[in-house]
Structure 1
Amino acid sequence: MHAPTSAAHASRLLAIALIAWLEFLQNGLLNFASSQVMGGIGAGPEEFSQAAMAYALFAVLALFNHQWCVERFGSRRHLQASIALFALGAWIAGGAGSPSAFIIGRAVQGLGGAAFFTAARLEVAQLPTARRGLGLVVFGQALLLGSALGPLLGGWLLQAYGWRALCWGVLPFLPPALWAAGRLPLRPPAQRPAHYPTATFLTLLGAAFLLQWLIQQTPYQLFAHPAWLAAAAGAALLCYLAFRAQHRRHASDRRRWRLLRRPGYRIGLLGYSCCYLLVSANSYILPMLSAQALGFDLPTSGLLLSVSYLAGMLFALLYAKLLLRGMAPSLRQTLLASCILLAAYGWLMSGINGEASLTRVAAILLLNGGFMSLFIMAVAQGTFRRVAPAAFAHAYQTKNIVRQVSISAGVALASVFMQARNALHYNRLAERFSWDAQQFNDALHLLREQLPYLSDTQRLGVLAGELARQAALISCLDFFRLEMWIALALAGGLFALRAVD
């Protein structure tokens, strides 16, 4: 009897992993090669961030209705339908010939992909108490593995098959996910499923859309159309207040949400938001640093970018081992340690130059992996340790809504930051790109000696390319310097917030 039980638990853990990693794998593939995707569909950074906004918007809607769908259709059918939608969205995005088609594909993927993270985590909560710790380890390792394989697989797919393979590359992993959905002991439809009035859903839709639009457009339109932004912010607030009023009066599950009104849970959501925003911004910036500023080829860049997540897997295993043995530091100590790792990462990355070796950059990225895993594990402990079992599903829905909004915000803000800094540094460097500048003439003279077979026009092209590379490099270094100060601010906030432990 013991062997079949162990085999059943192992099968269930494998199924959880196969479901959990899908969304992280797909996002890792696309974020790794955002520039190539933009070139393939003829989009700019603003339109690429709109695709991230569309994914997050439809994911938020799906997450809010996750429990409703599970109770009405049964979680197995809901998960299988989500996998089908995810596949359809990947197919549409991969076949896109315009930014609009790509945005539609990502929106469809958001409807499907939102279920994976929540469904897998809720299955971990249903494991026997003795195996729940192992389930959390498997769940966390699957997420980090998907994030690590994204750039690793993306570098090879992009070089061999082009940018479309970054969308279609996730399709071979969906049949195992369908198998996993059938293996999980998911619940049948409820006899009395939750009910949300149409007005409640529409006000949520309006609030979510306006919030995502503000996140995406504010950096672009802050000075050009401030009145539009203020009107949109006011409309978003009104929609949210209307949603709260409708939900409190009419939603059948409103009592479950009341259990989440505690400061520790809300502080935890803020911690999640900070972490996911920084991680998504990093995922957008690092490929630019590796391929554009440092000149590494695509497979090498993919390998380099996967280092953070592979290091995160090792840090997570070490922390989990300490937890299981009762030797782990306190939550505040763990959070402070992770902030120190992030500050060191930002400081060291802001000091690299165009000649930085692969080994040096990879070594620094280990610190980023430590920050990601330690910070998120400590925040998860603090956020959910006092959540009542009856409210756990709703607590995790809300947490994942925060995750999707933060990821979208990270991509949008990183995109605008890089555009602004690139323009500033390019203009400053271009002031020296003149026949009157001694540095320019010295560089041209050096090229004449090193590349005698080129014409002066071609040598000017080489110098222009170097000008763009230097501007990109300095912009990336500005980002890492900012990240260092954010880490120090987080550490200061933890010192002031004695209630974390």
Structure 2
Amino acid sequence: MSTSTRTLPFPAARVAARAAAADDPYRNRYLIALTVTLASVLELLDTSIVNVAVPHMMGTLGATLDQIAWVSTGYVVANVIVLPITGWLSARFGRRRYFAASIALFTVASFFCGNAHTLQALVFWRIVQGVGGGALLSTSQSILYEVFPREEFGTAMAIFGMGVMVGPTLGPTLGGYITDALSWPWIFYINVPLGMIALAMTLGFIRDSRFAQKVERVDWLGLGLLIAGIGCLQTMLERGERLDWFDSKEVLLYAVVSAVSLVWFVWHELTTEHPIVDLRILKNRQFTAGITFAAMLGCCLYATVFVLPVYLQTLLGFTAEQTGFVILPGALASAFTMAAMARTTGKIDGRILVVCGVAIFGASMWMHGHFTTESGQGDFFWPLILRGVGLGLIFVPMTNLALAELPMEKIPNGTGLYNLTRQLGGSIGIAVTATLVSRFRGQNYAALSEHVSRYGEATRERLAMITQAMIAKGTPAPVAETKAIALIQGQVMRQAAMLSYEHLFLMFGIGMGLTLPLLLLMRRGRASGGGGMAH
């Protein structure tokens, strides 16, 4: 009897334990983190992976460079339009259903992108792919903030951040390898099995938000203004350099439509009862400072990812594969740094970590500013390691600081706006960088040419030496002199381009440093979302 009395409570205890586990909102959090990070990496890879396959696509589809550019532009434009409304869409359709549908749409579109036989079909499916991919980034972030307890928010953002920082860096390298080893359609086909895995894990582990607010009605006017404003802005940034900016009527039209639409959109969203994007959260000083910082972070991240491979491949003659191996250590440094950040949440003031990250990033850009046309692979290792560590120190604490004072039901809207500003910052950074490289090169060439006159003693000696060397190899004298002049001009142009890249790297470091005063508008706050709105 006594034995029976002792053993009776155990089955009941097991049942109670199972019930408690079933109700635990934090169970499976690491599997969920793996799921949403996989989805985010897929989305980010496809932002940059197609760039290296452009020549192959042009040959297969018979398209010009201007036409094939819409393969990238269509994807990014669709992406940025969806980003700010992901919170609204999650509330409208249910987070689990919306996230799963977005992965399914992205995966199906990836297959049809690879199977496209015309430019029109490829651009169409890339736009569809961008619509599906737009949800993956910000919805992933809001999911992580809900499925991890407050004390582990740093861990959640570290896991997510590793994918966000490594994805754009590895895109061109992976794209080049796949294109060379197989063919360009496989840069899309590779998404299919990975997307199916992410979809299965989503259906198995992700649940609807406990904090979702029911959507009463659809703000069609706000949606239309957002599509027109953000779509035209992103298209202008993508095509501006190619069309010579405001000398083009097309770019001017994009600018006017974007400006009018966005001003109208902001006014409408602040005055309507059921906005599609709740801009009232911008009243939170900490969040507004955070997304402003995010814009500069995106600018420096994407612009350096854009300009460094151009420098390595055009001036130093590196292949895409060699470029990938040069960049890889910095990407891994970012990942390891963010993994280490998981242990600092709540222990170290996030603002201090951001200051340290900006200082390290600035030191890295100073080292980048001393690259030359003779730099080798060993010269890039430590500058890129420092860049990776600096960005890693910034990403996790800045994300947590920006969202720290938003109530949990506002987190999906906040992550959408945060990721939108980072994406737009990146687009602005790439557009400005592409323009400045060309202009700086022209200015530097003019300045250097003043000191490389054919009538200068040093130039005459150099010209004579090259000419004699060519004649000695059998080149006729008149031809040898012409070739020698062209060679010197080419060297001057290379040095002018090198100086342009050096100036840009220094500008990135200074630009990031100029954002530090924004930290004065922030409080240390809590680890992240779930607090009340700041007043």
TM over 0.5: yes
Tell me which amino acid in the other structure corresponds to 1:177: A
Query: For 1:175 and 1:113, how far apart are their aligned partners in 2?
Result: 14
Q: CA separation in 1, counterparts of 2:207 and 2:27? A: 18
User: Which residue pairs with 1:224 in the alignment?
Assistant: 247
- Residue in structure 1 matching 2:362, options 337, 343, 347: 343
Residue 379 of structure 1 pairs with residue 398 of structure 2: yes
For residues 356-412 of structure 1, the C-alpha deviation after alignment (integer angstroms, 9 at most, x for no partner) is 121220211011112211222232122111111121111111112212322222222
1:56 alignment counterpart: 76
| Distance change (3 Å), C-alpha of 1:393 and 1:499 | closer
Deviates more, 1:348-357 or 1:80-89: 80-89
Residue 276 of structure 1 and its aligned partner are, at CA, apart by 0.3
Quick one: structure 1 residues 259 and 429, their matched pair in 2 at CA, closer, same or farther if it must change by over 3 Å? closer
Which of the residues 465, 470, 473 maps onto 1:442? 465
Aligned to 1:113: 133
Q: Give, in whole Å, the separation in 2 of the partners of 1:228 and 1:113.
A: 26
Q: Which amino acid aligns with 2:31?
A: S
Report the residue type matching 1:173 in the other structure.
Answer: L
Deviations 1:152-192 (A, max 9, x none): 42342243235554444444422222222222322299895
Matched residue type, 2:514: A
Q: Is residue 2:155 matched to residue 1:141?
A: no
Deviation at 1:490, TM superposition (A): 3.3
SS of the residue 2:47 aligns to: helix
> 1:387-426 counterparts in 2 under 5 A?
387-425=406-444
Letter in 2 for 1:81: A
Cα 1:358/1:172, change in 2 over 3 Å: farther
Cα distance between partner residues in 2 of 1:48 and 1:483: 29
Match of 2:142 among 122, 129, 149: 122
Kindly state the Cα deviation for residue 48 of structure 1 after the two structures are TM-superposed: 7.4
**Which 10-residue stretch deviates more, 117-126 or 205-214?**
205-214
**Identity in percent:** 20
Specify the alignment match of 2:262 in structure 1.
240
Contact 1:332 1:494 in 2 (8 A): no
- SS of the residue corresponding to residue 247 of structure 2 reads coil
Within 5 A, what are the aligned runs for 1:286-435?
286-323=308-345, 326=347, 328=348, 330-425=349-444
SS in 2 for 1:21: helix
Residue identity opposite 2:247 in structure 1 = A
- Give distance in 2, aligned partners of 1:299 and 1:482: 28
Query: Secondary structure in 1 aligned to 2:293?
Result: helix
2:281/2:287 contact within 8 Å kept:
no
Q: Distance in 1 between matches of 2:178 and 2:340?
A: 32
- Helix, strand or coil for the counterpart of 1:187? coil
Residue segments in structure 2 that go unaligned for 5+ positions in a row: 1-13, 525-535
Q: How many angstroms does 1:99 deviate by?
A: 7.2
Q: Indicate yes or no: 2:38 matched with 1:18.
A: yes
Larger Rg: 2
The answer to whether the Cα contact below 8 Å between 2:236 and 2:251 also exists between their aligned partners in 1 is: no
- Mapped to 1, the partners of 2:256 and 2:224 lie a distance apart of 17
SS at match of 1:387: coil
Equivalent pair of 1:82/1:115 in contact (CA under 8 Å): yes
Question: Aligned equivalents of 1:478 and 1:361: distance in 2?
Answer: 17
Match of 2:506 in 1: 481
* Gap change, CA 1:94 and 1:471, over 3 Å in 2: farther
Find the aligned partners of 2:43 and 2:200 in 1 and give their Cα distance: 17
* Structure 1 unaligned spans of 5+: none
**TM-score w.r.t. length of structure 1:** 0.82
Number of equivalenced pairs: 491
Aligned equivalents of 1:157, 1:463: Cα separation in 2 = 38
Cα shift readout 1:288-326 (whole Å, capped 9, x = no counterpart): 1222222223222111122221111122122322336x2
Give the distance between the partners of 1:276 and 1:87, measured in 2 at CA.
26
Q: What corresponds to 2:225 in structure 1?
A: 203
Amino acid of the structure 2 residue aligned with 1:273: A
RMSD: 4.1
Question: In 1, distance between residues paired with 2:109 and 2:474?
Answer: 48
Counterpart for residue 292 of structure 2: 270
CA distance in 2, matches of 1:451, 1:279: 50
Which shows bigger deviation, 110-119 or 459-468? 459-468
